[in-house]
Chains A and B, each alone.
Chain A
Amino acid sequence: MPSERYFFAPEIAAEFRRLIGIAMKVPDTTHVQQSLKHAEPVRLKLRVNYSYPEGVPLQSMPSTLLMNLPKLPPELDYRVVGHDLVLRDTIGNLIVDLIPNAMP
């Protein structure tokens, strides 16, 4: 676990957890859960500033979740890995930061 948060400072991480909570509470929450299950969930121990492992599929992001998270510049994306929310550099395939256990 990194000792220094580059993006998800504690107060930012708390806000993200709140937003994820809202997305998971919409009437179609079962749809979000189902989508997560159907998206070939991966279990990995990721580290900030390390690459996302080559050859391991990227789990697709439920659209409802993406609708509730802040917009990112095109070179970054959100990914769910296990229960973590990961911020990834799409060009360099680098883990920029993550929120452990962000997903309920």
Chain B
Amino acid sequence: MRRSTFLFLALAAAALAQNPAPALKLPLQPKSVRFAVIGDSGTGGKEQYDAGRQMEKFRGRFPFDFVIMLGDNMYGGQSAEDYRIKFEAPYKPLLDASVKFYAALGNHDDPNQRFYKPFNMGGKRYYNFKNGNAEFFALDSNYMDPEQLDWLTKELRNSKTAWKICFFHHPLYSHAKFHGPDPDLRRLLEPIFQQSGVSVVFAGHEHVYERIKPQKGINYFVLGNSGQLRFHDLRPSADTAKGFDTDRAFCLVEIAGDRFYFQTISRTGETVDFGVLERSKAMVSSASGNYAPSRLNEAADIRNRAVSGW
């Protein structure tokens, strides 16, 4: 090898080591459901833009089709210019690539965001949509009135999809110290989730990332640091499976058959959590509405083989 060629290769390797290609932990199986998750994103700050760029970078290797937003999509003013600075500009490459965004409302959001077309809410505070073998239920946890609870119960009961995923703003479980969980909301929603075979719940509000160990068979993720951050706010407990509270983050998800793969990535491209959730056979029965009440806990059980690798 000539000296100049060797030098070039050495320099290229050094550059790659400093700025390596994103390390993807997702299997990229054919016909899988692929999406990203962001929460508490709408600050318009540099860190939101950094995270947006990192999402675009990862999309080069993991072509996700849509993004779910966990609320607080817009902090402060909500003028047309705010929509541009706090949403359209940071995620422009994704929007240009026809990636769809589906928003839930947070406490900082003007409820009229539901009429903003790029949020795909169809003018509704709460709504559902399907993609492959998954159905998503976006809820308005700011205002969980009886009408919304009735709607949710009915839609979940009628859902025939394998994976039922709910997303909303206020977490039912959290070990961040600033807010903590919402026990009143949990008291009402958790039994509905259990009885209808909801497998995964995403929430924001706390400006940290936390994956909670399965609670009554349901996997809870808190992701409220895609734009905001409350540094070192997490007080991990025995129920915390993984936490990250020192930078912004987003999550990538791939659903392939009975497996739900996830990878949580920081603003700088570091993988802070990854793993796979697997639906048990009993869960399949639950999803098709055939579970027996005495097997409820078993029916909702999802074996969690996260983090240690798969």
Does B141 sit within 8 A of A, measured CB to CB?
yes
**What is the interface residue range for chain A against chain B?**
20 to 34
Does B46 sit within 8 A of A, measured CB to CB?
no
CB of A17, distance to nearest CB on chain B (Å): 20
Q: In the bound complex, how far is the Cα of B274 from the Cα of A30, in angstroms?
A: 36
CB nearest neighbor in B for A65: B184
Q: What number of A-B contacts does a CB cutoff of 8 Å give? A: 75
- A35-B76 contact in complex given A63-B144, A66-B145, C-beta closer than 8 Å: no
Chain B residues closer than 8 Å to A40, beta-carbon distance: 107, 179
- The answer to whether A39 and B144 have CB atoms under 8 Å apart is no
Chain A residues closer than 8 Å to B187, beta-carbon distance: 28, 31, 63-64
Chain B residues closer than 8 Å to A62, beta-carbon distance: 184-185
Chain B residues closer than 8 Å to A59, beta-carbon distance: 107
The B contact surface, by secondary structure, is: loop
CB of A23, distance to nearest CB on chain B (Å): 10
Chain B residues closer than 8 Å to A58, beta-carbon distance: 107, 111, 142
Within 8 A of A (CB), among B142-157: 142-147, 149
- The answer to whether B78 and A54 have CB atoms under 8 Å apart is yes
- The answer to whether B146 and A66 have CB atoms under 8 Å apart is yes
Render A63-74 as a binary contact track against B, CB cut-off 8 A, 1 for contact.
110110001000
- The answer to whether B107 and A57 have CB atoms under 8 Å apart is yes
Does B170 sit within 8 A of A, measured CB to CB?
yes
- The answer to whether B143 and A57 have CB atoms under 8 Å apart is no
Chain A residues closer than 8 Å to B183, beta-carbon distance: 28, 30-31, 34-35
Q: In the bound complex, how far is the Cα of B184 from the Cα of A30, in angstroms?
A: 9
- The answer to whether B146 and A67 have CB atoms under 8 Å apart is yes
- A60-B179 contact in complex given A32-B184, A54-B78, C-beta closer than 8 Å: no
Chain A residues closer than 8 Å to B181, beta-carbon distance: 38
- The answer to whether B76 and A60 have CB atoms under 8 Å apart is no
Chain B residues closer than 8 Å to A28, beta-carbon distance: 183-184, 187
Q: In the bound complex, how far is the Cα of B180 from the Cα of A39, in angstroms?
A: 10
Q: In the bound complex, how far is the Cα of B184 from the Cα of A40, in angstroms?
A: 15
CB nearest neighbor in A for B142: A60
- A77-B77 contact in complex given A32-B184, A34-B183, C-beta closer than 8 Å: no
Render B173-189 as a binary contact track against A, CB cut-off 8 A, 1 for contact.
00000011111110110
- The answer to whether A61 and B143 have CB atoms under 8 Å apart is yes
Q: In the bound complex, how far is the Cα of B185 from the Cα of A96, in angstroms?
A: 27
CB of B307, distance to nearest CB on chain A (Å): 28
Chain B: residues with CB nearer than 8 A to chain A? 76-78, 107-108, 110-112, 141-147, 149, 169-170, 179-185, 187-188
